[in-house]
């Protein structure tokens, strides 16, 4: 006859595991002997090994009791069901691993390839990482709401960033990412932004916007811009003085509201 410790050692489990199987009703508890100890026979060792083998194979403890009592055909059917469940879990875990790998990949976690390529181009052109992160977060918002429009919008962005005047303007905006509302460079920057907007508006006159951004997304992107640039409220104020309002969807101010 064996003590609980000896039983556990024979079966290759811990005493705690044996007690857990007792609590689950998988392994019957023997009566105590005259000394108050529970003693286990060889049958208990065999039963415990069978339980441990099933548990190690991934069988849920809730199914172990049924399998121990099952006939050959029922056992085979149950094992097939369990195998299908395990394969599904493996596929799910592989998917989770792929998501974790994408986390390590940085920009590609929540962005389509076109946007990732654009951010890489910004790095090649010498944009500071802070402004790239702000740009990345904006495109995450856009891609989440307008995934089908991203390739076309990215083609436009690539063409724009390869234009020296716009790139220089963009870099100057990036230089002010941490400046305050009283920075003396802001009025001159507002002049340059207003001039660019004026030229772009003239060029696009009469053309329809193929991928209009909804008002809610515009508001969200403008909010992100204001939160990212301490000087943003002052810059927007200066632009409004020059006849333009907004940032994501810039438009002329209504003369009647001035």
Which tokens go with 258?
Answer: 């001035």
Place of tokens 């002052």: 234
∠ at Cα 118 (207, 220), nearest 5°? Answer: 65
> Residue 34: what pLDDT?
82
245/237 Cα distance (integer angstroms): 8
**pLDDT at position 108, please?**
61
pTM, 2 dp: 0.54
Query: Which residues lie closer than 8 Å to 97 by C-beta, 6 or more apart?
Result: none
pLDDT for 184: 94
- Strand partners of residue 255: none
- What is the reported pLDDT for 14? 92
> What is the Cα–Cα distance from 161 to 159, expressed in whole angstroms?
6
Domains in the chain (CATH in brackets) are 4-103 (1.10.1660.10), 110-257 (no CATH)
d(CA 76, CA 82): 10
Residues of the chain with pLDDT below 50 are: 103-104, 256-258
In whole angstroms, give the CA distance from residue 26 to residue 62: 9
Helix axes 215-228, 129-145, angle to 10 degrees: 160
Closest among 41, 53, 50, 48 to 17, alpha carbons compared: 48
Backbone angles phi, psi at 255, to 5 degrees: -55, -25
d(CA 154, CA 113): 10
Helix (H, G, I), strand (E, B) or coil at 252: strand
- Evaluate whether 213 touches 146 at the Cβ level (below 8 Å): yes
Q: Which two tokens stand for residue 29?
A: 């508890």
Are residues 230 and 179 in contact, defined by beta-carbon separation less than 8 angstroms?
yes
Name the phi and psi angles at 40, rounded to 5.
-115, 145
């Amino acid at each position: 006859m064996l003590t609980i410790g000896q039983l556990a050692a024979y079966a290759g489990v811990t005493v705690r595991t044996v007690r857990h199987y007792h609590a689950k009703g998988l392994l019957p508890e023997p009566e105590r002997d005259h000394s108050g100890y529970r003693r286990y026979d060889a049958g208990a060792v065999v039963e415990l090994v069978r339980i441990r083998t099933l548990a190690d194979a991934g069988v849920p403890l809730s199914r172990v009791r049924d399998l121990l009592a099952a006939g050959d055909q029922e056992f085979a059917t149950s094992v097939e069901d369990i195998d299908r469940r395990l394969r599904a879990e493996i596929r799910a875990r592989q998917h989770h691993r792929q998501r974790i790998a994408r986390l390590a990949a940085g920009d590609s976690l929540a962005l389509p390839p076109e946007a990732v390529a654009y951010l890489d181009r910004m790095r090649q052109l010498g944009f500071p990482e802070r402004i790239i992160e702000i740009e990345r977060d904006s495109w995450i918002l856009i891609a989440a709401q307008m995934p089908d429009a991203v390739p076309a919008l990215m083609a436009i962005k690539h063409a724009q960033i390869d234009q020296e005047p716009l790139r220089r303007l963009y870099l100057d905006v990036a230089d002010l990412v941490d400046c305050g509302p009283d920075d003396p460079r802001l009025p001159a920057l507002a002049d340059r932004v207003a001039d660019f907007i004026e030229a772009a508006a003239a060029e696009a006159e009469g053309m329809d916007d193929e991928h209009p951004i909804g008002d809610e997304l515009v508001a969200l992107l403008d909010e992100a811009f204001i939160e990212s640039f301490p000087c943003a409220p002052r810059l927007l104020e200066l632009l409004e003085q020059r006849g333009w309002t907004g940032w994501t969807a810039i438009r002329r101010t209504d003369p009647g509201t001035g």
